């Protein structure tokens, strides 16, 4: 009987689970594992910091709908994954983190890189586990992947002691990977569906609010059928945009804040009552609003605020049920007074923004930069955004039309994700254009991942809104310590690592620069445009977060 080692079994377990890409940095005790993975045809994207590896796995997951995989070597290599994994945890995104660790046989003896890695991952993972025996490696890989993607998704951590990775055993002792032949999805009971339809039917100003749960359940088509059958206008949270195209007649993004305050019955599907929607509380919503909450995670139902009706079920299944039962009974549509009201508000807010979108001022106004990116990005293009002012402005100005097309820091507000997200997205979707719209401050956190893109032939386009500092410059010449960064020549850094780099200072030069960058992308070469933008331009948003305990929102739109 042939012998196999733990590293080979982990690699085979990953391959059998459908893993085709791992983001990592080489190092002990994982070197043998990476060699086995490469031999099995798993793509290895080697990065410049493990934090970025976790962020790339996050983006890969958000584009493909699969579990993204990252790996860190022992000790600091694994610990460096923490920021990216914490970000995936708050974003409810399925990521598998593999961490090499010191040998169990030398615990408590001061072994090389010995500390309790398992304990530090537990608070930010759905599950964190250490595998002590090589024979159970495949079994545990299966369990980790299952935990990551089932119910409310989230990251998991797999601790791999060095002695387990090199342990050799007879093949006959290997615990086989469990398999699942067929599986149903949770549906709602018929009484709850009837109640939901009755509430929506009695509403004067109904609203549908959805989030990432629509993407994870693959419910975009079912959501669109429900919207078109009932005529109820909808809004998605920023990370969930594109599951139904933003240019749908019942998507009135410019009226978002107004709609939230005016709605009398709100159907919330696949999103949490977190700060993104003001926790569903006043002043973001009316004190008298009635909520119908649909979530696959029963613990989310009614957790944050009082609701009229809670439905535990998968978004795809529940939309099908609501559409079938509500057909002919719930009907609003573009001609209804409510939708006309929202349409007028949407047009009013868009008209207010138009002068800045078309401004020829120099330095470039960030909204003009957003317009140029909007007009350049193909309909199936993927946009990753990172920063403060530019992120808020892009949310208002740049639509999304396909699932998995929108990536941003999410509920954790984690700066530095932009470029890693772009690289991970390009690895996930090599045939789609990937544009990273980056603030200059946040770009500095993971700038060397541009080298990762070059070496791994992942042609992403990075467009930098360079306002020479963190956030917008304060008015009245107010000094804000730490704000100023100066106009760093990121275009020259790009050239230094082998990417295409160009400085842009005139708004009329943006489109030609984008076209030149596109030619480089078509050759397989990443590109970066360093656009000098107005340092005092501030996004017109309600407070992004309140550290004093007050309710927060995200955008006036």
pLDDT band at 531 (very low <50, low <70, confident <90, very high): very high
pLDDT band at 104 (very low <50, low <70, confident <90, very high): confident
From 263, 259, 255, select the one nearest 345 (Cα to Cα).
255
Strand partners, 210: 236, 269
**Count of alpha carbons within 13 Å of 53, Cβ hemisphere only?**
28
**3-state secondary structure labels for all residues of 319-376:** HHHHHHHHCCCCCCCCCCHHHHHHHHHHHHHHHHHHHHHCCCCCCECHHHHHHHHHHH
Q: Per-residue pLDDT for 543 more than 60?
A: no
In the predicted model, what is the mean pLDDT of residues 503-513? 98
Segment 373-386, tens digit of pLDDT? 999 999 999 999 99
pLDDT band at 177 (very low <50, low <70, confident <90, very high): confident
pLDDT band at 541 (very low <50, low <70, confident <90, very high): low
Q: Per-residue pLDDT for 550 more than 60?
A: no
Mean of per-residue pLDDT scores for the chain = 93
Q: Per-residue pLDDT for 79 more than 70?
A: yes
Burial letters for 244-261: b for 16+ Cβ neighbours within 10 Å, e otherwise?
bbbeeebbbbbbbbbbbe
CATH 3.40.50.1220 fits 190-344, yes or no: yes
C-alpha pair distances (Å), 329 with each of 80, 139, 201, 461, 494: 54, 49, 7, 48, 58
In CATH, what is the architecture of 358-532? 3-Layer(aba) Sandwich (3.40)
Segment 222-265, tens digit of pLDDT? 999 999 999 999 999 988 899 999 999 999 999 999 999 999 99
In the predicted model, what is the mean pLDDT of residues 96-102? 96
Q: Which two tokens stand for residue 16?
A: 């059998």
Write the CB contacts of 408 (distance below 8 Å, at least 6 apart in sequence). Answer: 238, 239, 384, 385, 386, 391, 395, 417
Query: Could you tell me the residue ranges of all domains in the chain?
Result: 3-173, 190-344, 358-532
Q: How many CB atoms lie within 10 A of CB 114?
A: 16
Give the pairing type, strands 406-407 and 500-504. Answer: unpaired
Q: Per-residue pLDDT for 551 more than 70?
A: no
Token pair 């934090």: residue = 51
Identical fold, 3-173 and 190-344: yes
Q: Which two tokens stand for residue 321?
A: 């049920």
Segment 284-320, tens digit of pLDDT? 999 999 999 999 999 999 999 999 999 999 999 999 9
* Length of the chain as a residue count: 557
Fold of 3-173: Rossmann fold (3.40.50)
Q: Per-residue pLDDT for 445 more than 80?
A: yes
């Amino acid at each position: 009987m042939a012998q196999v080692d733990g590293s080979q079994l982990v690699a085979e377990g990953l391959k059998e689970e459908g893993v085709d890409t791992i983001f990592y940095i080489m190092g002990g005790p994982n070197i043998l594992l990476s060699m086995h993975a490469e031999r099995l045809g798993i793509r290895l994207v080697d990065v410049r910091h493990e934090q970025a590896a976790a962020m790339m796995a996050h983006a890969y997951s958000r584009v493909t709908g699969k579990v993204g995989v990252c790996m860190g070597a022992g000790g600091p290599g694994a610990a460096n994954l923490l920021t990216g994994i914490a970000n995936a945890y708050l974003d409810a995104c399925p990521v598998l983190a593999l961490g090499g660790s010191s040998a169990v046989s030398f615990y408590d003896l001061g072994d090389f890189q010995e500390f309790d890695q398992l304990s530090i991952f537990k608070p930010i993972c759905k599950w964190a586990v250490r595998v002590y025996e090589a024979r159970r490696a495949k079994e545990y890989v299966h369990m980790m992947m299952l935990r990551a993607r089932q119910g409310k998704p989230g990251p998991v951590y797999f601790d791999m002691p060095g002695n387990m990775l090199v342990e050799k055993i007879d093949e006959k002792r290997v615990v086989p990977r469990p398999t699942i032949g067929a599986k149903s999805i949770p549906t709602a009971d018929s009484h709850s569906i009837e109640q939901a339809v009755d509430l929506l039917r009695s509403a004067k100003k109904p609203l549908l609010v959805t989030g990432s749960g629509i993407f994870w359940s693959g419910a975009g088509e079912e959501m669109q059928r429900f919207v078109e059958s009932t005529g109820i206008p909808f809004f998605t949270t920023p990370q969930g945009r594109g599951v139904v195209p933003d240019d749908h007649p019942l998507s009135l993004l410019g009226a978002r804040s107004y709609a939230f305050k005016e709605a009398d019955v709100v159907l919330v599907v696949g999103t949490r009552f977190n700060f993104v929607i003001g926790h569903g509380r006043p002043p973001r919503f009316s004190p008298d609003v009635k909520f119908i909450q649909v979530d696959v995670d029963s613990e989310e139902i009614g957790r944050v605020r009082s609701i009229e009706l809670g439905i535990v079920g998968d978004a795809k299944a529940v939309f099908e049920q609501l559409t079938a039962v509500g057909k002919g009974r719930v009907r609003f549509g573009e001609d209804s007074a409510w939708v006309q009201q929202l349409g007028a508000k949407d047009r009013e807010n868009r008209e207010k923004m138009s002068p800045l979108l078309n401004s020829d001022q120099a330095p470039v106004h960030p909204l003009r930069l957003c317009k140029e990116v909007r007009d350049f990005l193909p309909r199936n293009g993927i946009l990753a955004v990172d920063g403060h002012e530019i992120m808020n402005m892009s949310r208002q100005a740049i639509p999304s039309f396909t699932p998995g097309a929108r990536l941003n820091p999410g509920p954790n507000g984690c700066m530095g994700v932009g470029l890693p997200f772009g690289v991970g997205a390009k690895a996930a979707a090599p045939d789609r254009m990937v544009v990273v719209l980056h603030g200059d401050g946040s770009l500095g956190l993971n700038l060397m991942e541009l080298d990762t893109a070059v070496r791994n032939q992942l042609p992403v386009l990075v467009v930098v809104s360079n306002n020479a500092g963190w956030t917008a410059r304060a008015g009245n010449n107010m000094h804000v310590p730490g704000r100023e960064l100066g106009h760093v020549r990121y275009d020259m850094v790009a050239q230094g690592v082998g990417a295409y780099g160009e400085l842009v200072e005139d708004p009329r030069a943006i489109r030609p620069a984008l076209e030149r960058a596109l030619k480089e992308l078509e050759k397989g070469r990443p590109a970066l445009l360093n656009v000098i933008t107005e340092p005092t331009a501030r996004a017109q948003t309600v407070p992004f977060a309140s550290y004093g305990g007050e309710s927060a929102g995200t955008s006036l739109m």
